[in-house]
Amino acid sequence: MRLWAAVVALTALGATGYAIDFLHQTLTLGDAWAALRFGLITLLRVIVLIILASFVWVPIGVWVGLRPRWTSRIQPVAQFLAAFPANVLFPIAVVAIVHFHADPDVWLSPLMVLGTQWYILFNVIAGASAIPSDMREAAQMFGVRGWQWWRRLILPGIFPYYVTGALTASGGSWNASIVAEAVSWGSTRLRAQGLGSYIADATTAGDGARVLLGIMVMSVFVIAINRLLFRPLYRLSERRLRLS
């Protein structure tokens, strides 16, 4: 096992070194800064979209998860929607944005989370369903309501599940940005500034160096978010935010 891990690590280091050397010979620091700047724009979109999706789907997921009759109906639907190819709906967005003369930088953004928001929903449903019924009954008996009900019972119960859903939705949104920030329908092409459209434009132009640079920058952002945000959140859920 250790030998295999060492081989994988050496292969990854070698590939990274080769990629950096290739980019150094082909591109400039200005190109790297442009990719980083576009990455920050897409990062802002991902953060805002995950927050908005959480405000919508966490309460709905809790409501569904606490009602077994609804859970059995909604959970499969949410899983289907998560697997549904959301890009087939993109032409509708293109037509609507053109018709209403909307700003693509704003209104193309929801397309990034269109197919990934459902991970938040069905993970929260699973978390709410896993809360023991005796704890729910005790909270009701002692009159625990409102924000205290959320803070003492619901949030500790669903938090690990929510983090899993948000992590999956975040990663999916980064991937979706490649097709969501540069959308076309017929002769109409809409583009929002961001790392996704940077990669899409480089792919269309056959610019392998910028495609590689965009993918590397995206990988750095995704790994950094996972390690700096979601991993600490998992540890927090293990230490403090859990039902006991």
Digit-coded pLDDT (tens) for 46-75: 999 999 999 999 999 999 999 988 988 888
Q: Which of 157, 178, 174 is nearest to 226 (CA)?
A: 174
- 85: pLDDT confidence band, cut at 50, 70 and 90? confident
Token pair, residue 54, equals 């959480």
The answer to whether residue 230 is domain-embedded is yes
Q: Which CATH number covers residue 196?
A: 1.10.3720.10
Q: Coil, strand or helix: which one is 11?
A: helix
Contact 63, 97 (CB under 8 A): no
The answer to whether residue 6 is domain-embedded is no
- 22: pLDDT confidence band, cut at 50, 70 and 90? low
Q: How many domains is the chain built from? A: 1
Cα separation of 149 and 147, whole Å?
Answer: 5
Cα separation of 109 and 97, whole Å?
Answer: 12
- 40: pLDDT confidence band, cut at 50, 70 and 90? very high
Asked if pLDDT for residue 26 goes beyond 90, the answer is: no
- Its sign, for the CA torsion 98, 101, 102, 104, is positive
Cα separation of 21 and 36, whole Å?
Answer: 18
pLDDT above 90 coverage of the chain, percent: 58
The answer to whether residue 198 is domain-embedded is yes
The answer to whether residue 49 is domain-embedded is yes
The answer to whether residue 161 is domain-embedded is yes
Domain that holds residue 134: 28-239
Mean pLDDT, rounded, for 197-216? 94
- 78: pLDDT confidence band, cut at 50, 70 and 90? confident
- 166: pLDDT confidence band, cut at 50, 70 and 90? very high
Q: Model-level pTM?
A: 0.88
The answer to whether residue 4 is domain-embedded is no
The answer to whether residue 15 is domain-embedded is no
The answer to whether residue 13 is domain-embedded is no
Cα separation of 61 and 167, whole Å?
Answer: 16
In the prediction, which pLDDT does 218 show? 96
